[in-house]
Each structure stands twice: as C-alpha cells, then as structure tokens.
Structure 1
Amino acid sequence: MLNTKTLFLAGLALSLPLLAQANEAVIRKSLAEKLAGLPKIEDVRPSAMAGLWEVRIGNEIRYTDPTGNYLIEGELIDLRTRKNLTEERVNKINQIDFASLPLKDAVVWKNGNGKRKIAVFADPNCGYCKRFERALQDVKDITVYTFLVPILGGDSPEKSRSIWCAKDATASWQAWMLEGKAPSKPTGACDDSAVERNAAMMRRYHINGTPAIIFEDGSRVPGALGADQLEKRLQALPSKS
C-alpha cells in the first residue's frame, strides 16, 4: 500500500519537468518583452547553481532568475572543483562535428603523411589568415581544409572566386597567401557556389571572424595560432581508437 510520503515524492517527480517547462516559458516571454531586439534564444535550462537559469543566445551564455527579471553577463565558477562552468558549456555548444563538414567545398593541401586534420575558415584578404598559413608550413603530418569565406568586403569575393575556380585551387591559394601572387581571373563558366555555401555554414556555426580553426574533436579556436601553439593543440587531442 502506498503511503502519503511515497505519493508526495511521486507527485513531486512528475511536477518537476512541468515546473521547468513553465519557468522556461516565463523566462522566454519576460526577456523578449524587456529586451527589444533580443536575438533568438536558442535554449533555456537550469544551471548548476540553484535558482539560476542558463540562457543561450547564439553561441553565448547568459544567466537569469526564474522570472526573467534579471540578466547576468559573466562566468559561473564551481569553487569546489575550480571549474569554469560557463567556459565548459560554451566549448560544448561550439563543438562542430568534423566528419559532417563538406570537405569537397574546401581547398586542400597536406604536409607529410597528412594524418592529422584541421579545417580553417579564411578570407583571402585576412592578414591573420596569411600569418596562420605561413605558420602551417612548419607543422608536420597535417592535412588542411580551407573554406573560403569572403567576409572582409573589397575584392575578397572576387579573389575567393578566382582561387576556387583556378585550375589548381591549392596552388592559387598558397601563391597568394604565401607569396602575394594575385590569382588570375577565371575565364569561362565556373561553379563558385561552394563559396556561398561556406558563408552560409559560417553563419550557421556562429563563426564571426577569420581565421577560425576546427579540430577533429570538434573543438575550435578563433584567430591565428603559431606553429608551436598549433602543435600543442594537435598533440593534446584525444587519440583515435
């Protein structure tokens, strides 16, 4: 026979998900009303701290109370473990499934056996991208997939198209990035839709600048790395089984 305590606990277990859903709805409505022009809220969920709710907007994390009357911008630190919980969440939501990347839309080259792989979003007129491309020449046994994304304006779209449509896109890319040899304008028809797809993919993954580096474990780094820094990151990746 069920006693009163058992019935209470059973009812509480059933009501908690409903309460969470109710709080999420309240928070979404409250923040939308109070913050004009608020970007789309991707997710609302309880945080590790009691009474504090996590709000994900794009690839950024904010915090609020259960009523959505307060908004906190900052990092949540677990002092017991010294873990930056905000950083952990941001890293998790920013992960990209490397295997799902459309590598056919990338300019590809490799050093050595190419067993280590990275993907890079780069603009041909990006100075930091050129610096990173030079650093990559000193990294051994790597395959680099570069997605051309002309985000800087000027003649970036024209350069991207010329490089992609070249007879040897890899040679054209490296000649420009490493030696400053401008790519020749393509003659005749050329399917450059890959460049548009790359730009759409960049927006989908909330990548806001170049270079952006994607590793095989799904982690990513905004900005250029030196050869030594990249080597350390590559060596720290989980080994493949």
Structure 2
Amino acid sequence: MKRTTLALLGLVSLAACAQAPQGAAADAAGSQAATAQAPAPAPKAAPRPDTPEGRALAALRELDPNIEPDRLRAAPIPGFREAIVSGQTLYVSDDGRYVFIPGVNGALFDIRQQKNLSEASLASLRRELLQEIPKSERIVFAPPDPKYTVTVFTDVECGYCRKLHQEIAEYNRQGIAIEYLAFPRMGLGSEDYRKMVAVWCAPDRRRALTDAKNDRPVPVRECKTTVNQQYALGQRVGLTGTPMILAPDGTQLGGYVPPRQLRERLDKLAQGGAGAGAP
C-alpha cells in the first residue's frame, strides 16, 4: 500500500488516538465482566458491489481491508455516499474514486491516482505566494552546496521552532538549506512580534535569531521590514502552527521534522514519491 493511502488512514483514525475520559475508563473497567458475556452484534449485510454503497465500501477497503463503516448511506452532497468510520465522517464518490475528509485540515483524495488533490492545489498556490518575499528578507542557514532548500515559517518562542533551530547544523550536513520566514504566533503587536521585528532589524539577523531562540536579549530596533507581510503570507498558505516546513514546490513537509527524516522526505518528493508530504 502506498504512503498516500497510509496518510489518509492516519486522518481517518485520529479519533482512535484520543484518550478516554477517566470516568469512562473506570466505567469500562467496572463493567468488563458484564460486557464480556454480551453477545456479539449480528454482522451487517454487505451492499451489492454494483451499487454506489458497494463501490464506496470497496474504495474504503482499498485504504484498509479491515474498515467496517458504522454507517454508509446517501450523502447530502449529490454523487457521494456518507460513511462514518470510528467517529470520523467521510464522503466517497458514487464511482468509488474520490474520498473527501472534511474538517480543519480536510482533504480530497483520488484513490485511483493515490494523490491528495487538495494538497497538490494548495502547494501550487504556496509556490506562487512565496515568491512575494524576496530572498533578502529571509534569514538563511545553508551549507556551501545545498541539495535542497526549504522554507520554514518560524517563531522565536515556540518550543519546536527552537528545537529545529538547535539542529540547524545537522540540517545543513544533510544538504538542506533553511530559509526562515517570520510568523509571530501571538499576533501582530505582541511581545513575540516585537522580538521578531528586532531580529529582522538587527545588523546580523542570523545571530539575532539564534539569540532570541535561546532567550538571550536582542536590542530593540525598529526599521522597515516585511514581518507583517510574512505573517499575512503564513495565514494565506494554510499555516496552523509553527514551525511549518515547505518544499520548493510548495508541498508541506510537516512541522518539526528531524534532519535525517526531512532529507528522506525531500528525496522521495524529488523522486515523485506520493508520500513525501506531511503525515
């Protein structure tokens, strides 16, 4: 099974990773003996393969042979079936080719091509939008001859941004250049924002950024910067948290990704791999 499919299954099974409330867990433990004797529910009759429900079920089982929807019926969207799997609602086209997962990070998948169509469209837009920020406004940490260059929206306060920066030398050893853009996650006008403006106004931005991420003081400065523009750009490219790593083609590679793993994802993307994007 290809990685694109596995990524989709990861979205489907998010609810299964949530920890049950303590009260519910206690109730479950207390009733274990009683429920152990409960008869298993009768298996549901499988829909005929030549029906929209049958094709939808077959499509879902291409993703996971063990999928057993709790509900499968006509959707409010014409041409789709609605499936509920482990508390997650999915929409499958009546021909069994497309699966749509709604939500904040919703996506439309083409099962036949093993492709996330939503991410492909957004990646194309990101690539165009990133060109609005000139190279001179990025803070760059790069090896002499980088194999890959990624854009990272960063914040000076967030823990994973700091962790990524602590490993900047290893990213460079992996042949990866990091081009930082500012995204003060506390918003414009915040203390976080003022620190990032001071970094971008510093005569040595690389040193100032490293100092800020290590709680060393950065002299307060004001100058004409594109920090506001970078912040707005982050919102336009779909940023929901920092750091955000983007490949040259606009594909989102994740938040914090360890150096070796990031190199592997970039290699797969360069080879046309379907699973190089964020999980």
Measure how far apart 1:76 and its partner are. 4.6
| Structure 2 residue 169 is the aligned partner of structure 1 residue 169 | no
CA contact (8 A) 2:153 2:245 kept: yes
The aligned counterpart of 2:192 is 156
Rounded Cα–Cα distance in structure 2 between residues aligned with 1:228 and 1:125: 24
Aligned alpha-carbon RMSD (Å): 3.7
Compared CA separation, residues 76 and 67, structure 1 to 2 (3 A): closer
Compared CA separation, residues 210 and 75, structure 1 to 2 (3 A): farther
The aligned counterpart of 2:224 is 191
Cα-to-partner distance string for 1:46-69 (whole Å, 9 max, x where unaligned): xxx89x9xxxxxxxxxx852399x
| Structure 2 residue 127 is the aligned partner of structure 1 residue 97 | yes
Rounded Cα–Cα distance in structure 1 between residues aligned with 2:230 and 2:83: 34
CA contact (8 A) 1:105 1:198 kept: no
| Matched positions, count | 176
Secondary structure of residue in 1 paired with 2:116: helix
Percent identity for Structure 1 against Structure 2? 21
| Structure 2 residue 268 is the aligned partner of structure 1 residue 236 | yes
Rounded Cα–Cα distance in structure 1 between residues aligned with 2:241 and 2:201: 24
Secondary structure of residue in 1 paired with 2:253: strand
Compared CA separation, residues 112 and 209, structure 1 to 2 (3 A): same
Compared CA separation, residues 142 and 75, structure 1 to 2 (3 A): farther
The aligned counterpart of 1:142 is 176
Give the counterpart letter for 1:215 in structure 2.
A
Compared CA separation, residues 133 and 76, structure 1 to 2 (3 A): farther
TM-score norm. by structure 2 comes to 0.53
Compared CA separation, residues 227 and 131, structure 1 to 2 (3 A): same
TM-score norm. by structure 1 comes to 0.61
| Structure 2 residue 140 is the aligned partner of structure 1 residue 108 | yes
Residue ranges of structure 2 left out of the alignment (5+ in a row):
1-51, 57-74, 100-107, 273-279
Give the counterpart letter for 1:156 in structure 2.
D
Compared CA separation, residues 91 and 67, structure 1 to 2 (3 A): closer
Compared CA separation, residues 93 and 76, structure 1 to 2 (3 A): farther
The aligned counterpart of 1:74 is 90
